[in-house]
Amino acid sequence: MDSINRPPEKHVISKGLDAFFLNIYRSANFVFRFFKEVFRPPFEFTEITRQCFEVGYKSLALISMTGFITGLVFTKQSRPSLSDFGATSWLPSLVSIAIIRALAPLVTALICAGKVGSNIAAELGSMKVTEQIDALEVSAINPFKYLVASRVLATTIMLPILMMYSAFVAMMGSFLDVHTNEQTSMTTFFENAFSSITFLDIFTSVAKAIIFGFTIGMVGCYQGYHTTHGTQGVGKAANASVVISMFFIFIEEVLIVQVATWLRTP
Amino acid sequence: MLKIKPTNINYNEAVISIRDLYKSFGHNHVLRGINLDVYKGENVVVLGRSGTGKSVLIKIIVGLLKPGKGSVNVLGMEVDKLNGAELRELRLKIGFSFQHSALYDSMTVRENLEFPLVRHRKSLTRSEVNNAIDEVLDAVGLLQTKKQMPSELSGGQRKRIGIARTLILQPQIMLYDEPTAGLDPISSIEINNLINEVQEQYHTSSIIITHDLTCAKATGDRVAMLLDGKFIRQGTFDEVFGTDDERIRIFFDYNFIK
């Protein structure tokens, strides 16, 4: 009866654009709520620690493998171009700049967007569709603080640590290749590598990793927390979390590089 | 076997008072002027077909949904006027049993029960927490499942653990959302008996949302029939169904033919 008598739906602009702007409004609210909740006691220290373990420790194997291979392959691929000019001795500094400035933050973030972001979205999404989030709420537990704030904090804290670890492992991969080909000692390799690295490079990379971590956590939580349409929705949330996180990571990368370049310019 | 229902109702003290409650989702007008009082110690069954807004009603009572219009007074507090802290305080006095139990998948049965308790009763010692867990598990007859994960439990066991999780905070009001949905007849009877035992042992007042007439008859001190967003009849089970109103008879006949 209702569906027969129901008046036609009205849109401010169009159905798609309305949904788009509504989504932006809801996302902004979500971010605002995070900052409102995160500094207000009680603090979820146990859950934050558990999430840091989930995000950090459980990503170590993947980060180690990817970081090592990135360093090794990047060195291998760069050698022919440099050897044409007899400049293979520049390899450590070239690789260190590439790894610390760009590759380590970006590779770590992309891996975490895939592994951690999708995991967060799927976990919260399934909690949402099975009413576990409602169950938290009716048990007088603030689900936003317990689930969202703890996860976003964990990704924001752990990403810079994972990034630094990834950079170290990538440098070791690079060293392996340089040592095998040029018999360079580890001390010489790292002296050369760090001779061209400045504080600004490290600061920028850490800042990038913090922003990427925040983005991954926020997008994963937002997608999971707003999951609808049952188990199918959980899959969509996990997928959307990865795609949207990666999109934002690339945009942020471009913006931060622009700012860093501007800062480097005398 | 169905047990004889205990009745110890104080008709002078309404713990839930709902007046002219309306709720819509877009153009879908779900509740259209609900009025209901639930008295201390009373079990009220809200009966109705699927999609008539029964679950919406209890979600409004517990503050999960905002009412469109009207007032919902629970234990003397207007639910939609409470701030976050006040609402959390009120929710500690309300137990909500979800249709699909909503147990936390990643926790064992014991952790599911321990989780709300240790957060809200911080002064309890380890042994007091253990005793409280054993007590509620014993009350629902599932002491042996303490170390099991929710995925290892049957539907009926999950429902009972869900009820135990709410009982551990000793609520004054219980809200049951389709407590017997999806259960075999024996498990349904066990849940009905458990609802009555909870009422007797914990002195709770309850709203039971169901479309199962056996559950309604076994647990309800009063039955309210919801149709088209309104209660069309309230009273004891026999009063509600001892009518020639076709809209109610069809529900009754179908349930028992089924």
**CB contact, 8 Å: A132 with chain B?**
yes
For A140, which of B26, B27, B91 is closest by C-beta distance?
B91
Nearest CA to CA, how far is B16 from chain A (Å)? 16
The answer to whether residue A109 is domain-embedded is yes
Q: Residue A3's pLDDT band (boundaries 50, 70, 90)?
A: very low
List pLDDT tens digits, range A187-230.
999 999 999 899 999 999 999 999 999 999 999 999 999 998 88
For the stretch A177-181, contacts whose Cβ atoms lie closer than 8 Å and that sit 24 or more positions apart, written own/partner, are A177/A71, A177/A72, A177/A75, A177/A76, A177/A79, A178/A75, A178/A91, A178/A92, A181/A79, A181/A88
Q: Is residue A99 part of a domain?
A: yes
Residues near B67 by Cβ (< 8 Å), separated by ≥ 6? B21, B22, B23, B60, B79, B80
The token pair that represents B227 in the structure block: 């149709």
Q: Give mean pLDDT, residues B77-95.
A: 91
Specify the CATH number for the domain of residue B219: 3.40.50.300
**Stretch B64-73: mean pLDDT:** 92
What pLDDT was estimated at residue A9? Answer: 64
Whether B99 maps to a domain, the answer reads yes
Residue A152, pLDDT score: 97
Higher pLDDT, B74 or A6: B74
Question: How many distinct structural domains can be found in chain A?
Answer: 1
Name chain A contacts of B84, Cβ cutoff 8 Å.
Answer: 142
What's the whole-number average pLDDT of chain A? 91
pLDDT score at A4: 45
Number of domain units in chain B = 1
Q: Measured between CB atoms, which of B27, B64, B102 is closest to A7?
A: B27
Q: Is residue B72 part of a domain?
A: no
Assess A11–B contact: CB distance below 8 Å, yes or no: no
Q: Is A45 within the bounds of a domain?
A: no
Q: Which residues sit opposite B73 in a β-bridge?
A: B17, B78
In a domain, B8, yes or no: no
Per-residue model confidence (pLDDT) at position A164:
96
Report CA Rg, chain B.
18
Q: Please report whether residue A146 resides in a domain.
A: yes
Q: How confident is the model at residue B70 (pLDDT cuts 50, 70, 90)?
A: very high
Tallying the residues shown for chain A, one arrives at 266
Whether residue B18 is contained in a domain is answered as no
The answer to whether residue A215 is domain-embedded is yes
10 Å CB burial of residue A116 (0-12, 13-18, 19+) is buried
Reported confidence tier of residue A63, pLDDT bands at 50, 70, 90:
very high
Beta partners for residue B175, in sequence order: B96, B207
Residue B59 has pLDDT above 50, yes or no: yes
Question: Which of A80-84, A136-140, A218-222 has the weakest average pLDDT?
Answer: A80-84
Amino acid B75 reads L
State the average pLDDT over residues A107-130.
95
Q: Which residues span the domain enclosing B183?
A: 40-64+84-257
Tens of pLDDT, residues B180-202:
888 888 888 989 998 998 898 88
User: What is the interface pTM, i.e. ipTM, of the complex?
Assistant: 0.87
Residue B92 falls inside a structural domain: yes
Residue A73: what pLDDT? Answer: 95
Cis peptide bond N-terminal to A42, omega within 30: yes
Q: Is B209 helix (H, G, I), strand (E, B) or coil?
A: strand
Judge: A140–B103 Cβ closer than 8 Å, yes or no: no
Helix (H, G, I), strand (E, B) or coil at B46: strand
As a whole number of Å, the CA-based R_g of chain A is: 22
Instruction: Please say if the pLDDT value at position A240 is more than 90.
Output: yes
Using alpha carbons, select from B146, B49, B155, B148 the residue that is nearest to residue B98: B155
Spatial CB neighbours of B242, under 8 Å, sequence gap ≥ 6:
none
In a domain, A198, yes or no: yes
The answer as to whether B227 is a domain residue is yes
Number of helices (H) and strands (E) in chain B: give both, helices first.
9, 10
Indicate whether B96 belongs to any domain: yes
Distance to chain A for B227, nearest Cα, Å: 13
Distance in Å, alpha carbon of B1 to nearest chain A alpha carbon: 31
For residues A77-103, give the mean pLDDT.
90
Contacting residues of B for A46, CB less than 8 Å apart: none
B109 inside domain: yes
Alpha-carbon gap: B119 to the closest alpha carbon of chain A (Å): 8
pLDDT higher than 80, residue B238: yes
pLDDT at B74: 94
Amino acid letter, B183: L
Q: Region B211-227: what's the mean pLDDT?
A: 90
**Lowest-pLDDT choice from A2-6, A54-58, A140-144, B125-129:** A2-6
Domain annotation covers residue A75: yes
Query: How many Cβ pairs closer than 8 A exist between chain A and B?
Result: 54
Q: Which domain holds residue A255?
A: 64-264
The string of pLDDT tens digits covering residues B122-145 is 888 999 999 999 999 988 888 899
Distance CA B206, CA A20 (A): 42
CA triple A193-A196-A199, angle to 5 deg: 110
Percentage of chain B lying above the pLDDT 70 cut = 95
Q: What is the mean pLDDT of residues A123-138?
A: 94
Q: Which CB contacts under 8 angstroms, 24+ apart, belong to A163-166? A: A163/A104, A163/A105, A163/A108, A163/A109, A163/A205, A163/A206, A163/A208, A163/A209, A164/A104, A164/A206, A164/A209, A165/A60, A165/A63, A165/A64, A165/A67, A166/A63, A166/A64, A166/A66, A166/A67, A166/A104, A166/A107, A166/A108
Query: Does the CA dihedral B103-B104-B109-B114 come out positive or negative?
Result: negative
The number of beta carbons lying within 10 Å of the beta carbon of residue B228 is 15
Residue B100: Cβ-neighbour burial (10 angstroms; 0-12, 13-18, 19+): middle
